[in-house]
Structure formats: C-alpha cells, structure tokens
A and B are shown apart, each in its own frame.
Chain A
Amino acid sequence: MKHTLFICLLLFWCTRALCQTGVLIGSVQDAKSKTPLELATVSILGQDSTLITYKLSDKDGRFLLEKLPVKKRLIVSVTYTGYLGHYAAIQLEPGKRDTLNVLLAFNNKDTNAVVVTTTVPIRMNGDTLEINPGAFKLKQDAVVEEVLNQVSGITIWSDGSITVNGKKVSNLLVDGKPFLGSTDTRVATQNLPKSAIDKIQLYQEYDRSNISQVAQPQDSLLTMNIKLKESSKKGFFGKAGAGYGTTDRAEADLSLQVYNKTSSGGIGGGFNNINKNIGNLQEMLQNNTYRNYNPNLYNVGRFGASGINKNYSIGGLFTHSFIETANSRQNNRVAITYNKSGTDTYTTDVNLQNRTTINNPQFIRDDGVQNNKGDRHDVTINYVKTNSYNDNLNVNGAINTSNDKGNSTRFTEVRDSANRLQSTNSSVSLQQRQTHNESLNLNFAKSDREDPIKGFTVQFDARQGKSVSDRDVKSVFQSFVDANKNTSYNRHYTTDNNSKNIGGSIDYLGFKRLLLGRYNLFGINLNFTQRLNYNSQSDDNQVTDFDSTVKRYIINSRISNVNKRELFEYTPSLSLSKNFNKYSDVYYRSVNIQLRLIDEFKTDNNSSTIVQRNLDRSFQFFRYEGNINYNYTKQRKYYYYVSAGYSKNFQYAPVDQLYTVVDDINVYDTRVGNAFLQNRINHTFSLNSNFNTQKPEAIYSVNGSVGGSYTRSLNPVVDSTINDPSGRRISYHTNADKSSNLNLNYNFNISRKVKKNNLQLMYDGRFNTYSSPNYIDRVYNISETRSLYNNLTFQFSLSSLLVLTIGESFQYYNTRQTAAGLTSFKNSNNTTRLGAVLNYPKNFTFSSTLDRVGNSNLDKPTNLWNAFASYRFMKQQGELKFSAMDILKQYRNITNSVSSYGTTTRITNGLQQYFLLTFSYYPRKFGKT
C-alpha cells in the first residue's frame, strides 16, 4: 500500500509539473456590427498544423482556452460559417494570460448557392453528436480509438469500455451493423484507421429487447456508429505473428479479416504453451488488434492460470447483410462462426484446508497431479431481421462437440489440531468423456401501437445434449484411528447421459385491448404470458468393482442405475405495470411500478431401476414479484437510477436430495438423502442503482453503481455432517428453519481530462455474507461465511506517449461458527499492480508490469515482473517484440476460497521465468487508403 501511495504522489507531482501552461482568452465579433458571434470555432494548432485543442465561443462571443503549451509557437484559427477565417500566430508565457479579440469579416462571396464545408471537430446534428475525424491531426496510422481519445466528453477506460458524457456506449456499429459480427468495441476502434472514417455518430437507440414493456429512458442504448468513407467500404486487416523463447515457450497468432459493404469474413487461430487463452474466435480477434498505444499488458502468458497449458485454436467467421442500409433500424443479416480449439494441461496442486468439527478442527492437505487433454468444435449461427424498432427476429443456433481425456493422482492426509495424522487417502483415476450439444433459440417480437391486438412476443428454445464417459478410480483409504474403517476400491464407471429441453413462451401484448377494449384501466399496462417447458434427462450409470479374488469386475447394483426424469412445466403469469413521468426543461423523472403474479404448475416424473427413486410428483406454486424503478435526469448535469424489487419463489427437493445414490468411494464427502425434505421458500429483496455525470463541458467524468440482494430462505436444505476422528464425513440433507444470504457489488469510476492527458480512477468491489444453519456432529450451529473483494486501479496517460497504471486488489475470507467447540477461520490475499507503457522513441514501445502478491498463508509476498519491448517497422506493418516474463523468478499460483466449514488455500504449478521473441506482421488495406 505504501508503494501505491508513493506512486500516487509521483503522479500527482507529474500532473503539477504539467500545470506550467498558458491561457488564452478573447472574443469573436462581427467586424462591422460588433455583434458577438456565438459558436465560432477557436482552434489551437501546433506548428505542424496538429490540432491541440478547440473551443466554441459562448453567447457573448467569448472563449477561454486553458492548459496550452508555453514557449512554443502556436497557430490560432477562428472560423465561423459565412465569415472569412482568422489565423494568427501566438507564443504563450507560463503563468500569463494572453488576450485575442477577433473581428471576423463577412464573406460577401458566399451566396445561397455556395455551400461552405468546414472541418468542425464535433457538432450536433439533430439528436446525433457527430465527430469529424478529419479535424484531428494524428499520426498516419492512428486508429478510431485514438481519435475518440481526443474528443472532450469521451472517456476510453482502461478496461476498454467507452463512455460519452458519463454514459456507457452499449452498441458499436460500423455503417449501421455490428463490425465483423462482434459485440466488442475493440475490433472496430482498434483496427479501423482514422483515414478510412467519414464520421463517428453517437445517438440513443431503442432497445428492442424491451418491446413487450413500456418504454423507459434507461432502456435506450447509447450507440456509436462509425461511418466509413465511400472509398473505404471494403478492406482487410489482420495479424500474423510467431514467437519462440527459452524453456521451449512458444506462441503463434493469426487473424485476418476482410469486409465490404454487405459481407465480412475472418479467420483466426493460434497456438501457445504460455497459458494464453485463445479458445474463443471473437476473443482472438479482439486481442490481436492493430493498436499499440495502450496494449493490454495482461494479454500475454497468464501466470495466474493453473498448470502448464498448451492451447490451440483455429476458426473462421462469415457475416452477410442482405440489405445495404447504413442505419441500425433495418437489419437483415446472418453471422456464422466455426471454431476448433483444444488444450493439453499438466497441473500439480496442493490444497490446504482448515475444517471445523466439534472440539477437534481438522487440517487437510491434498496433493494432486492431473493431465488433461481436450478438443472441441463449435459452430454458431445468428440471424437478425428487423424492419423498425417495433419488430425483432433473432435466431441463434449452436452445435458443439468435445472430447476430453485425463488422468489424475491425489493423495490426501487429515491431521488433528495436534498435527497427528488421522487418515490418508490415495486415489488414481483415469477418465474420458465425449459430449455433443445442440441448441436453437428463437425470439420474435412485434408491437403495433395502431393495432395493439396484434402485438406479441414469442420465445422458443430447444436444446439437446449427449454425454458418454468412462472413469476408472482406484482409491485406498487408511485410518490411523480405527483400522476397521480402512477401505480400498477399484471401481469403473460408465455413464451415458441424454438430455432434451424444449420450451417456449408467448407474451400477448394485446391482452388488455382484447379484455377491456378501449378502456384504459387507469393507464395500467397488462401483459399476459404463457410459458411451457419440457425437460427430459436420461442417465445410464453403470458401476463395477474389481474383485481381486475372481480377477474381474463385478457390477455394483447399489450404485448402478438407470434413471429417467421428465419435467413438464406450465407457467402462466400476469404482469401489471404503470408509469408516472414528470419533466421540464431541465429535468426528467419517471417512476415505474410493476407487479407480476405467477402460477407455476410442475409435473416431475422420475423412473429408476432403484425402486425408491420412482417418483411421480406434481406441484403448484403461486408466487408473486414486484419492483419499483425511479430514474432522474438533470439535463447536461447528471443521471441516476434506483430500482428496488421483491420476489418470492419456491424450490422443491430434487430426487437426488431425497434418495441420493450414495457412493462411498468419496470417504471425505459422502452424501446421504432425506425422503422427508420440505419445499424451500425464498424471499428475495434486491436494490440496484447507478449514477453518472452528463456534463459535456466538464473535465471530470464520474460514474458509479451499487447493486445488491438479500435472500431469506425458509426451510432451506442444509447439511447435517458427522465427522469421525479419521476425517471421514457423512453429510445428510435436512431442512433448517431459515438461512440468509446478502450480496453487494459496487463500482466507482472517475476520469479527468487535461488536454490530451487523462487520469482515471476505477474502484470496484463485492461483499457476500451467507448465514446458514447446519448440524455438525449433531450440534446445531449457524455457519456464517463472509468474503470481501476490493480493487482499485489508477491510470495516467500522458498523451499517447506514456501510460502508467497502478492498482491494488484485496480479498478477504472469513468463516465463523456459533456453536461451542467449533472453530472459525480466515484468510486473505492482496495484489499490488504496477504497469507502464512508453511509446518513445518513434516506432518503439517499452512496457512493463509488476505484480506483488501477498497471501496470509505465505510468509512473504511473491513478485511477478514482466517487461516488453517492441519495434514497429515495414511502414508500421511489422513488429518485433521481446518479452521477459517473471524476471525475478518468484511467482507462485495461490488462491483462497471459503465454505461453511472452513477455508482452503490452493497452490498450483504454473508458468515460470521465460524470455520470448515474437515477430508479427499486420497486413491492412482500407479501400484506397
């Protein structure tokens, strides 16, 4: 934390040092009449005509430009449509104010037949804010993100998200369509060059997913649309890179994307043995963008990942729009992706667990070695058709298959509080599994205010899956307390699972009109929804034990079973909602109240070769939920939103809790069912709020949110656990009177722009507390577990030259027992992160990260220091990068977790020090640019 403070002070000093700047004030008037000219553009340019800053004059024609470079020759440009421009050279002195009063002469040559085009950097066109990239002088290969970084009111946060006057950009489109089918902004903003862009538009768009609901201001999405120049409507870009390093570390990345007015395609792939995640094609495309101004320093070998993983992936995507419109109102497009990926993992881990029992806490050490290898194929298809904001057709299909093989060995030992060995368990397992899943999801919505009786939304989904697996387990348990309890198993499991789910819902929007005709029912909106769902799950579990006397596997009829569960659900619901709005010139506020009445009918049939598990059950649960939303917007000042909700629901015990198939091979966690379990009732209260400033002229941009929920459960299913001295545990399901769970999550972000420099502070955290009764060794107890996570990141960008990041995250776990004789535990860890990117000299980038990881279970913290140097050449299309990872050779993978019975610290193997040299080539061409 001391380091954090030191860096903060250092950055503060840097910021102060930068305050040696000049100020220019003045006015713009009509030369003849001396009328003040409002909204004249006053631009300050460098000697090479680069735009340093700009301002629009106020209603009295006055302007004020602060933080200007001093002792430097600058050009002032004052332009006003219809007038002759004024240009002057100035040189400012530190701490002094310069005044410039400009008299603009009317351009008599202009007539109504002449249209003058000016390069105004930013302007409002109706409800749309338009940014003209041509007005920003940046380096030749600058991309959209660098243009956005120059625009006041726009903040690009260090996590890649973009806010405009405090509001988050939810949709990023290129010519009205998602670019290369991606929902992530980076594929477009970090690849498309400034020279290919005609203009960048920002506007509010109706969220079609809310067609069935009454429109609320918070439902609108802030959309950024990048309009390409006519000459750049087709192009290609990508990256091909390969690197090799010490200890045989290697990586290779490939991405190539092409687009034209209606279609786009891309291929992406890669291989590495540095734990870099490349399983997802979209992720590959997002992580291999052209921009290097603030590279994601964590898109490198992942030291936090467990084990050593060899990853590969190869895939492609194709998108096609069947119409050529450049607005997002009309869509008719399809996107298809295919991806093949795989991983080969070697993991060793040590788990250190504290576990409470009556008067005798146990300490469990579990050592394991695992080898896993898996391959998967994924195919997805997405089709979208809309004609307006009142209709929406969205079809998603997906197929995936996977094939996994693995083996593991584990050795567990349990000790008492005096460190005496109570028992050991060694196990060796070998498993393989094949899965095949298919899913189809369809959403159609149509509303018609002129003919409300025709409005409806339909949602349909179908899924089916198949999974076949084999597993051999040899397990030997040895008790040092009671030798009679020693066991030895050599067991083989064959499992064949099939699942199907077909469901759909219809929300009839014309219900009120149909029921009440023209009667308005005090403005209350009625929605009637019907949902049907059928789920079928067939499991064939065959378990055999090796009989050493007859030297063959004998079927274990106690565990082997064939089970089929069919669940049919019918859920009609009626929702009532009403809006109250009030607005004026300066504010808008609305209250929305919703009440939903739901009747759930469930028929659950279970047939099994185990007699007790043949159950036919029917349930009817009448439940209700409601919420109230309030939002307030003060125009050009701030916005906040608060929502509070309540819901009641029921859960009935599944057959696996009533009649559990008990497999005693898991000596440390044997579970036994309870046929008398009652239904659980949950009362959930939720609260969500967010706030953001919306001051376009402010240098600060602030946003934050707080969300949380509290659930109180009646008759929760809990454990009654019997621990024997050797560490064996048997848990029985039983009902308790009540339990409670509280979740809180919050974040707060603030950004300050100082000309082209930017300071960002991002804070987020979450808190969870769970209070649940249980029985431990027949003693009634309430286990209270708490976890707290806080993360603070501070980033300073000095133009595009230097980016400094400092962060601290802290995690705390605690479990407390109320019964006498039980033990409470806690653990914690913290990470201090430092990062720096220096883009100097030209074409060079130097960057480094340092993570200092502390853990309450370790004597001293470990450090992970990585450093990178890259050089761009071949007209900025070639890049040579040197990576030095874990320079201090100290890193260890350690994670903490908590349960009702204790805490666990897990230490795994992972990457160790290596050095890597990578060459990348970025092919790119955008039309004629």
Chain B
Amino acid sequence: MRVKLLYSTSLLYFLLFSTTVQSQLRKLYLHPKTVAREKQTKFVDSLRFIPLEIKEDIEISNNYNIEVTGNYILLIDYMNKRLLVYLKNGKFLKQIAYNKLGDSFYPNYQEVTNQVTFFGNNKNYSLTPKDLVKIKLDWNNPRNKKYFKKYTLNLNDPLLTIKKGVPAEKDIVQVRHFYDDYYVQSQITVSPLFADSVDYEFKVYKSNQLVKTFFPYNRINEPRFLYTQENVSFNKTDTANIHILTRPFYDTIYKMKGDSLFAAYQLVLPLENTLPPSFYNKPFKNKTERENFYRNNGWMLQQIYSFYETPRFIYFMVRYLSNFDSYIYEKQTDVTYKTRNVKADSSQYNLQLFPTFGLMRERDKFYKSQKASDLLDFFDKNKNVAVPKELEEFINSKPPANTPVIVEFKFKN
C-alpha cells in the first residue's frame, strides 16, 4: 500500500511538474501588420550621451555599426570600410582603414580575445558554396589555407594596427566563442558532398571536444535547408552563461543555461505567416524554386533574432522570407509594437532610438549613433529644455551637422 501511495504521489507530482514546465512556454502573439503605437518614453529611459570628438572627415552614416569594448567605442563605417576608434569618453583615437583587405572583409569583435578579426576569402580566388563545403571537409589540408585571409587588430596593443594572421580551423569551420572555454558551431549546411548524413544545428565544443549537440538534421538532404545556408542565432542575456537561441524556420525561443536547453517562448503568428507543413518535408527541386517560394510568401516566418528580455519588455527582430521588422512586446498587456511605430517625443529630445539597423546591445545597455544636427535642432527649438551635462561642451562647440553622437539607453525596468 505504501508503495502504491508513493507511486501515486510521485505520478501526481510529475504530472503537476510537467504541467508547470509546459506552462512556462509563454506565447507571444504577433500580427506583422500590427498598428499599435506608443511613445518611446514608455519603453526607454536612462538616456546618456557620449559626444564624439569632432573630426572633419567623420560624418554619420546609416551604415555605422557600434561595438563597445573594454576600453573603446568602435564605430564601424561599412560604406567607407574604416574603423573609427574612440575612447569611452568620446575622445578620438584612431581611424583604421580596412578597404585594402578586400571586398569580403568585415570587422568582427571578439570579446574573449579583445581583438577585432577580419576573416574573408582571398580575393585571388573565387569560391562557390560547393568549394566551401569541400574546403571545410578538408580544412586541415595546408593547401586549403590559401583560400582565406585573416587579419587581426589587437585592442590590447596601444599601436592599434591591423596585422596579418593565419587562418585557423575555428575560422574556416566557423566556430565561435560561447562562454568560458566553450565554443559553438551553429552554421547549417546541406550538401550531397557530405558522406555522413547526421549533423546538428547547434554543436557545443570544449577544448576542441564536441560535448553537446542539439537539433539533429540530415545534412545530405534535409528539405528545410536545401539550397540555402542558415545559422542558429544565439544571444547573451544579462546573466552570465544564460543564452537565447533561435532556429531558422522555427517559432520557438530557447534559453540555454550552461549546457542545458529549454523552450522559453513561442512566437505565435497568424496562419498566413506560418510556414506550411510541406515546407518541412517536401524538398525544393532547385535553388530557383526556393527563391520563388520566398518571393511568393514574403511574410512567412524565417527566423527570430536579437531576442532580449527585461522584466517588462521583450525586444526582438523577425526575419520573414522576404521582409524584416523589429518589435517590442509588452509583457503586462500582451501587446506587440513595431519599433517603426514607436515615436520619439520631446522628453527624449525627439530622438528616434530604434533604427532598422545599427542598434547595438552590450549587457542591458543599447547604443545608437545619432546626428549632431538632430540635437542642435532640438535644443535650438526648445530653449527651455536643459542640455544634459555631458552634452554641454559639445553643443556649445557648434559641431558640424553630421558629427556622430553616441546615445546609450536602457529599457525601462
């Protein structure tokens, strides 16, 4: 009897526990055509300005990206292929041009080494996707190293010069740092060139040893990934060792604590934005057929990116098959706002802080570059509004209209 009672209690406990686990998968309802509007002040506070030292040939561009490192603020000017290095107080340090490296080289900041790496194809060679698979399969063949070039900029080195490096296995097979001494490989490639059909969308390595795999797929002919190349996206959270994972063509948002993974949210879209079951099991005949499917179903979900959660809000981007949008979800009201419909107001100096591209997050802080003229205009028209202390000197110096200013902000807590 005691055994039966124990068994029944255990069963009840497990059932209750599993229901609790199930109920943790919160549903985020999103209509891509949402017209809900709000003012920016509802979401954002703790605005702080980092005025950058005025330099004649440095003008803001829509294609600036920001990286905030231990000591520096890096502005990446993609159009002019240069890296602008500032100290954290905004003092200009150096301009580093990388246009001579080649068309396929883009700076990539790696926190673990405090280095900016430029890794790309050697412009003397033209590589097809098939070539890349062949090279990856034979990555340790020394002859294959000539197809790539690697340059590094060590931010610990006060000279801040780009130095030629040697492409390593991690670069070629695109392994990225995860946390501590863990690395991950998240690129998904399907090709008949692979001999073994089993692969995983997300693989965790420790000291070159594969320690954990997630989401198996057939790397020879998985219908979802035929004629395309995808990645599992992972983002840091405010808590160390907790990451957010999102998969291509899936609406589930996963949380990873250490090396254990669980589903955290599900993005629920209208039926018309949901991929049909045939997408997952009926293979496309060729790349053209896939492209035509994307074109004819442009608002179906492809992947969720940049998922960031605060106690009140969730910020995320959604890539549809032929479109792109970013959203803020208000947990309390279950309302989703398109960031394009979030309007700046005078309490935040009329600055629109949610651009389509170029918003950078480091822990709980977001960074965006802004034109000096936006601030000058505002303070010119609103003389009664006090100029923030950190901006006073900058505004008084009458900077050229296109001088960049960094705006740092947080989501309201």
Q: Please determine whether B79 and A110 come into contact, CB atoms closer than 8 angstroms.
A: no
Q: Is the CB of A37 within 8 A of B343?
A: yes
Judged by a CB distance under 8 angstroms, whether A106 is at the interface is yes
A 354-388 binary contact with B (CB < 8 Å = 1; else 0): 00000000000000000000000000000000011
- CB of A140 within 8 Å of the partner chain: no
Q: Does A36 contact B (CB under 8 A)?
A: yes
**Contacts A30-B343, A325-B296, A585-B61: A35 and B39 contacting too (C-beta < 8 A)?**
yes
A519 touches B124 (CB 8 A): yes
Q: What chain A residues lie within 8 Å of B347 (beta carbons)?
A: 33
A114 interface contact, C-beta 8 A: yes
Shortest C-beta distance, B56 to chain A (Å), equals 16
Contact A33 B79 (CB under 8 A): no
Contact B125 A388, beta carbon cutoff 8 Å:
no
A450 contacts the other chain (CB 8 A): yes
In A556-588, the 8 Å CB interface with B consists of 583-585
Residues of A with C-beta under 8 A to B41: 33
| Interface size counted on chain B using CB atoms at 8 A | 44
A115 interface hit (Cβ, 8 Å): yes
Q: How far is the CA of A116 from the CA of B35 in the complex (A)?
A: 7
Cβ contact within 8 Å between B128 and A452: yes
| A749 CA to B336 CA, complexed, in Å | 49
Q: Mark A523-549, 1 if CB is under 8 A from B, else 0.
A: 100000000000000000000000000
The answer to whether B287 and A450 have CB atoms under 8 Å apart is: yes
Interface-facing stretch out of B26-34, B167-175, B195-203, B236-244: B26-34
Complex Cα distance, B145 from A684, in Å, reads 48
Q: Quote the shortest CB–CB distance from A227 to chain B (angstroms).
A: 14
A27 to chain B, nearest CB (A): 12
CA–CA, A60 to B345, complex, Å? 11
Q: What residues of chain B lie closer than 8 Å to A387, measured between beta carbons?
A: 288-289, 292
Q: How would residues 89 to 103 of chain B score, 1 for a CB under 8 Å from any chain A CB and 0 otherwise?
A: 000000000000000
A112's partner among B29, B39, B346 (CB-CB below 8 A) is: B29
Q: CB < 8 Å: which of A35, A325, A450, A452 contacts B350?
A: A35
Q: How far is the CB of A198 from chain B (nearest CB, A)?
A: 17
Q: Is the CB of B128 within 8 A of A112?
A: no
Task: Give the residues in chain B near A82, CB-CB below 8 Å.
Answer: 35-37, 341
| Cβ of B131 under 8 Å from chain A | yes
Inter-chain contacts of B34 with A (CB < 8 A): 112
Question: For window 59-118 of chain B, which residues contact chain A by CB distance below 8 Å?
Answer: 61-63, 79-80
List residues of chain B with CB within 8 A of the CB of A451. 128, 130
A35–B344 touching, CB < 8 Å: yes
Q: Please provide the chain A residues from 462 to 521 with a CB less than 8 Å away from any CB of chain B in the complex.
A: 513, 518-520
Q: Does B295 contact A (CB under 8 A)?
A: yes
Question: Given A33-B345, A35-B345, A518-B147, does the pair A113, B127 have CB atoms closer than 8 Å?
Answer: no
- A residues 139-156 with Cβ under 8 Å of B? none
Check if B35 sits within 8 Å of A81, measured CB to CB: yes
Chain B residue, CB-CB nearest to A325: B296
Interface residues of A in 27-42 (CB under 8 A from B): 30, 33-37
- CB of A450 within 8 A of CB of B130, answer yes
B 294-307 binary contact with A (CB < 8 Å = 1; else 0): 01100000000000
Contacts of A83 in B (CB 8 A): 37
- How far is B295's CA from A60's CA once the two chains are assembled, in angstroms? 36
Asked if B363 CB lies within 8 Å of chain A CBs, one says: no
Q: Per a CB cutoff under 8 Å, which of A106, A114, A388 touches B291?
A: A388
Is B79 a contact partner of A583 (Cβ separation < 8 A)?
Answer: yes
Query: Is B335 in the interface zone, CB < 8 Å from A?
Result: yes
Do the beta carbons of A518 and B125 come within 8 Å of each other? yes
A449/B128 in contact, CB under 8 A: yes
**Do residues B35 and A518 form an inter-chain contact, with CB atoms below 8 A?**
no
User: A195 contacts which chain B residues (CB < 8 A)?
Assistant: none
Residue of B nearest to A126 (CB): B323
Docked pose: A60 CA to B380 CA in angstroms:
13
> Which of B62, B126, B129 is the most central at the interface, judged by chain A CB atoms within 10 Å of its CB?
B126
Q: With A and B bound together, what is the CA distance between A112 and B347 in angstroms?
A: 26
Knowing A35-B345, A37-B343, A584-B79, the reply to whether A113 touches B126 (Cβ < 8 A) is no
Residue ID in chain A nearest B289 by CB atoms: A387
Query: Do the beta carbons of A112 and B336 come within 8 Å of each other?
Result: yes
Q: How far is the CB of A33 from chain B (nearest CB, A)?
A: 5
Which residues of B have CB within 8 Å of A679?
none
B123 beta carbon closer than 8 Å to chain A: yes
A146 to B137, CA, bound (A): 61
Is A391 part of the binding interface, using a Cβ–Cβ cutoff of 8 Å?
Answer: yes
A584 to B62, CA, bound (A): 9
Distance (Å) between the CB of A203 and the closest chain B CB?
Answer: 12
Contact check, B63 vs A585: say whether CB atoms are below 8 A apart: yes
A390's contact among B61, B126, B127, B288, by CB below 8 Å, is which? B288
Of B80, B322, B345, most A-chain CB atoms within 10 Å: B345
Chain B residues contacting A703 (CB-CB under 8 Å) are: none
Nearest to B330 among chain A residues (CB) is A112
Decide: A30 near B345, CB < 8 A? Known: A387-B288, A520-B125.
yes
Query: In the complex, which residues of chain B have a beta carbon less than 8 angstroms from the beta carbon of A260?
Result: none
Specify which chain A residues have a CB less than 8 angstroms from the CB of B131 in the assembled complex. 518
Contact with A along B328-349 (1 / 0, CB 8 A): 0000000110000101111100
Query: A513's closest neighbor in chain B, by CB?
Result: B126
Task: Report A-chain residues with C-beta under 8 Å of the C-beta of B291.
Answer: 388
CB < 8 Å neighbour of A110 from B36, B62, B125, B336: B36
For B336, the chain A residues whose CB sits under 8 A away are 112
Q: Is A329 engaged at the interface, CB distance under 8 Å to the other chain?
A: yes
Q: A115-B35, A327-B295, A520-B125 are in contact. List 19 more A-B contacts (CB 8 A).
A: A30-B39, A30-B345, A33-B347, A35-B344, A36-B350, A82-B35, A82-B36, A110-B37, A112-B34, A112-B35, A112-B335, A113-B31, A114-B35, A325-B292, A452-B128, A518-B125, A518-B131, A520-B124, A585-B61
10 closest Cβ pairs, A-B complex: A35-B345, A82-B37, A388-B288, A112-B34, A520-B126, A584-B79, A33-B345, A518-B125, A387-B288, A112-B36
Residues of B participating in the A interface, judged by any CB pair closer than 8 Å = 29-31, 33-37, 39, 41, 61-63, 79-80, 123-131, 147, 287-289, 291-292, 295-296, 322-323, 335-336, 341, 343-347, 350, 377
Q: Report 29 cross-chain contacts, Cβ distance below 8 Å, ordered by A residue.
A: A35-B344, A35-B345, A81-B37, A81-B341, A82-B35, A82-B36, A111-B335, A112-B29, A112-B31, A112-B336, A113-B31, A115-B31, A116-B35, A325-B292, A327-B295, A387-B288, A388-B291, A449-B128, A450-B130, A450-B287, A452-B126, A518-B125, A519-B124, A522-B124, A584-B61, A584-B80, A585-B62, A585-B63, A585-B79
